[in-house]
Amino acid sequence: MRYFLYKENELLCEDIPILELVEEYGTPLYLYSRNQIVENYKSIDSAFGSTDHVTCYALKANSNLHILKLLAEEGAGADVVSAGELFLALKAGFPPEKIAFAGVGKREDEIEYALAQKVFSLNAESHQELQLISRVALRLNTTARVSLRINPDIDAQSHPYITTGLHSNKFGIDSSQALDAFRHALSLPSVEVIGLHTHIGSQITKTEPFIETAKFVVQFLAKLHESGVRISHIDFGGGFGVQYANAIRHEALHVEDHGSGSVTSPAEFVASVLPILQETGCSVWLEPGRSVVADAGILVTKVLYTKENGNKKFVVTDAGMTDLLRPSLYNAHHQIVPVRIETYESEKVDIVGPICETGDFLARDRMLTKVKPNDVLAVLTAGAYGFVNTSHYNARPRPAEILVNGDRVRVIRQRETFEDLV
Ligand SMILES: Cc1ncc(COP(=O)(O)O)c(C=O)c1O
């Protein structure tokens, strides 16, 4: 996250001291670096070289319209999983021929909307969904381009909540039924079978699961060819992991031992599978979400109180699980740093929010530089699966979102007011 950096103990987002933004826009506040987003996207897209491909941004990671417009302007495609995401993608300017509609539970009206908008591919995840797509396409007197999402039973070696490619997960068509599913799809009226889709999980930090999946795809395509089925398109999903621990270093900051150190870069991930997938001669689509936006965003929060209960020290902040759910949901680790470093002294604390839930925390047993009320903290690497998971629980209006480009600032979502709770 090179666009968030300390200058004389003061954290900046691109060229702007974050404390200045806090004075103007308050906390909790989501803050994004425009240049980091664009750089992340370009590093993935350019790793394909001259291979026929589309890098589809997965809207689920962060669907702020201004961020979407930015990526659409850069030439990205879109991976959507609901009619709402499709609506946003089209509004942001993604061309329908670069949109893939995935998702394990598409409703009939969502399928109808996607067909009417002529998206490139509906990624089907079951026999029953294939039948419904066919019926809807027939009724609309159109042809549905379909890819089949196959569950390869490969362990992404990630958190169980974000592992999607095992047979015990709800996603995709079991690999043992995959050939039958393709035959079934080919027999259906108003369906054109164009591709194969896999997505084995998220926050994957090693290349091995991707390489294994790429090999599975190549072997499966060979079987398909043997049985006379030819497809032209592979959607390889997303899932590239990002670095959450030690995202920013400074001599005052405790070096975190969470996780396994440095993470493979998206370009290395692409390079590890591209030669394998190229054997198929198919066009390759990717659906990265986290790796495009995670390190381009932070959540800024103010310390309200510090206190001790027994041996425990608590730092109570004005952001909690309603603003960033990941720590409460799956104990996710986000590095948390002071926006202005005033001391090199650290202590072990729980950083907790104001929500009436014991599970409302941003970090537990964390070494944090000593803080006092009104100090401002930055929760790092919060650009993905952050704002999109905010809620009104405890009747809390959602935070504002700000996009920084050099020394320019743009409010890309106003802070909600009490009226938004009604
Ligand atoms: C089908 C599909 N594609 C792409 C993604 C994006 O994954 P990531 O944000 O890890 O790149 C997801 C997220 O889980 C997904 O379910």
The CA distances from residue 122 to 38, 83, 97, 225, in Å, are 27, 12, 11, 22
Distance (angstroms) between ligand 1 centre and the Cα of 238 equals 5
Please write the tens of the pLDDT for every residue from 128-160.
999 999 999 999 999 999 999 999 988 877 777
- Which of 254, 289, 324 is the C-terminal boundary of a domain? 289
Atom of ligand 1 nearest to the CA of 290: 9
Which amino acids bring their CB within 6 angstroms of ligand 1?
A: 58, 60-61, 79, 102, 164, 199, 202, 237-240, 287-291
| 253 shares a domain with 307 | no
Spell out the residues 6+ positions from residue 374 whose beta carbon is closer than 8 angstroms to its own. 302, 303
* Domain of residue 39, residue span: 34-289
Answer yes or no: 56 catalytic.
no
| 352 shares a domain with 279 | no
pTM above 0.75, yes or no: yes
Q: What is the pLDDT of residue 162?
A: 66
| 38 shares a domain with 25 | no
Please write the tens of the pLDDT for every residue from 152-166.
988 877 777 767 777
Mean pLDDT check: name the lowest of 53-67, 188-202, 257-271: 257-271
- Which of 262, 289, 316 is the C-terminal boundary of a domain? 289
Token pair 């659906």 in the structure block, residue? 287
Q: What is the pLDDT of residue 153?
A: 86
| 276 shares a domain with 223 | yes
| 158 shares a domain with 74 | yes
| 409 shares a domain with 382 | yes
Q: Which residues lie across from 124 on neighbouring strands?
A: 148
| CATH assignment of the domain containing 41 | 3.20.20.10
pLDDT at residue 27 greater than cutoff 80: yes
| 226 shares a domain with 245 | yes
Please write the tens of the pLDDT for every residue from 344-361.
999 999 999 999 999 999
| 217 shares a domain with 341 | no
| 373 shares a domain with 267 | no
Angle at 413 between CA 411 and CA 417, to 5 degrees: 115
Atom 13 (ligand 1): residue with closest C-alpha? 202
- Which of 248, 269, 289 is the C-terminal boundary of a domain? 289
| CATH assignment of the domain containing 347 | 2.40.37.10
| 39 shares a domain with 26 | no
Model confidence at 275, in pLDDT bands (50, 70, 90)?
A: very high
The count of structural domains within the chain is 2
| 350 shares a domain with 222 | no
Distance (angstroms) between ligand 1 centre and the Cα of 295 equals 16
Q: What is the pLDDT of residue 260?
A: 53
> d(Cα 381, Cα 327) in Å, to the nearest integer?
12
The Cβ of residue 348 has, within 10 Å, a number of other Cβ atoms equal to 13
pLDDT at residue 259 greater than cutoff 70: no
Atom of ligand 1 nearest to the CA of 61: 9
CB 206 within 8 A of CB 239: no
Distance (angstroms) between ligand 1 centre and the Cα of 81 equals 10
| 60 shares a domain with 202 | yes
